[in-house]
């Protein structure tokens, strides 16, 4: 049987080494500042990473770039589990074997018939047992060399968490700070377009990190997948180059930022972005159109601030929303809620804030952030 068991540490190291080689390829002169793009295909030494767990398990978290070939789908997994508990392990295994065999046949028909003999997949399931073993056996009998992840997804998850601290340690971060509405996210996006390395935690978390910061019709990833996304991003970055990151708290929506990353951020140099209050109000109205367009949703979300700001203030905000006076609500939220909270947290947690470079912008148009981004990149080119 041509199946090679591979420990999670070795598998992730091979994956990481392949990425490093890929990123070391020379770039054209016009792309000299560009960070390498995130790969949508698993790099060598594996031609494909195959997750055979159910689609529900896969959605919660998976190896970056993996494809999902369930050998038992959500409903089938429940059926087999119920048989196991209510009837017997023997009956469950018989039913499971029939379902697994049928699903493997479908995957071979759909995905494998065009593969060359030297195709080498990496396969995993939850613990590296029956589900991944079944597909690995069939593919190896065909003649493919198969890597089977020892310990399965559980071992991969443990490796991700072990790796995060050592991955974070070599990086030099620079924190983009500033009160709510000052355009921190817009600056990060502009920096990225101009070739800087950016770790956008809010983008990965699908949340703007405040009571009103949810993304409409977009659930946040699981905590496990958030950790994996950070792990993947760091693998795609060069520790010799600075990484710009926003001044987040420990939580981004319902997700926790890894402790090693929070500690690194809080010890890093800061850049403070300042905008006139009227520009901040305008920027937030642009960035939160779903609240402007849905007054009832806006009022509902504000109820979470009652314990902090009191019923009377929240009632006043809701009355202003009812009258369509959105700019007044946003300005009051900034003055009475967001600014006091933000500045208190920053002074407490970010050690280098007193020595931060302050960048005052006259407006929130794209040109202002492009100019600031170029200045920040020039600072680094002069210092290198």
Q: What angle do CA 71, 205, 288 make, to 5 degrees?
A: 130
Q: Tell me the residue ranges of DSSP E strands in 91-194.
A: 121-124, 146-150, 173-177
How many residues in total does the chain contain? 384
- 270 tagged catalytic: no
To the nearest 10°, the Cα dihedral for 15, 16, 22, 23? Answer: 160
Who's near 336: CB < 8 A, 6+ residues apart?
Answer: 309, 313
Strand 251-252 to strand 255-256: parallel, antiparallel, or no bridges (unpaired)? antiparallel
> Omega of the bond prior to 241 within 30 degrees of 0, cis?
no
Which entry of 125, 270, 279, 318 is annotated as an active-site residue? 125
CB 342 within 8 A of CB 179: yes
Question: What is the chain's percent helix, strand, coil content, to nearest 5?
Answer: 55, 10, 30
Q: Where in the sequence numbering do the catalytic residues fall? A: 125
């Amino acid at each position: 049987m041509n199946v090679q068991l591979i420990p999670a540490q070795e598998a992730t190291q091979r994956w990481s080494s392949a990425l490093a080689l890929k990123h070391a390829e020379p770039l054209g002169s016009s792309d000299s500042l560009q960070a390498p793009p995130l790969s949508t295909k698993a790099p060598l030494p594996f031609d494909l990473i195959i997750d055979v767990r159910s689609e529900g398990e896969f959605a919660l978290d998976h190896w970056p770039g993996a494809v999902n070939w369930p050998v038992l789908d959500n409903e089938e997994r429940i059926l087999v589990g119920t048989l196991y508990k209510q009837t017997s392990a023997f009956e469950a295994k018989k039913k499971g074997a029939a379902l697994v065999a049928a699903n493997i046949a479908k995957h071979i028909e759909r995905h494998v018939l065009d593969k060359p003999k030297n195709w080498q997949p990496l396969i995993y399931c939850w613990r590296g047992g029956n589900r991944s073993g079944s597909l690995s056996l069939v593919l190896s009998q065909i003649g493919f060399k198969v890597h089977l992840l020892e310990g399965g997804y559980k071992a991969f998850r443990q490796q991700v968490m072990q790796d995060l601290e050592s991955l974070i340690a070599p990086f030099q971060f620079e924190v983009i700070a500033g009160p709510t509405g000052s355009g921190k996210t817009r600056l990060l996006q502009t920096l990225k377009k101009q070739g800087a390395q950016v770790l956008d935690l809010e983008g990965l978390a699908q949340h703007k990190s405040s009571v009103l910061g949810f993304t409409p019709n977009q659930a946040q990833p699981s905590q496990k997948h958030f950790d994996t996304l950070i792990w993947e991003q760091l693998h795609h970055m060069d520790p010799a180059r600075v990484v710009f990151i926003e001044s987040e708290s420990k939580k981004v929506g319902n997700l926790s930022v890894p402790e090693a990353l929070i500690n690194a951020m809080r010890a890093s140099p800061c850049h403070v972005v300042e905008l006139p209050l009227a520009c901040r109000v305008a920027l937030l109205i642009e960035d939160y159109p779903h609240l402007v367009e849905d007054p009832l949703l806006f009022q509902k979300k504000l109820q979470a601030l009652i314990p902090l700001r009191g019923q009377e203030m929240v009632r006043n905000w809701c009355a202003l929303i009812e009258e369509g006076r959105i700019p007044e609500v946003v300005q009051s939220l900034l003055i009475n809620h967001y600014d006091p909270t933000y500045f208190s947290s920053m002074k407490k947690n970010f050690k280098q804030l007193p020595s931060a470079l302050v960048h005052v912008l006259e407006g929130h148009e794209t040109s202002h952030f492009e100019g600031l981004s170029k200045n920040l990149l020039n600072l680094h080119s002069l210092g290198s």
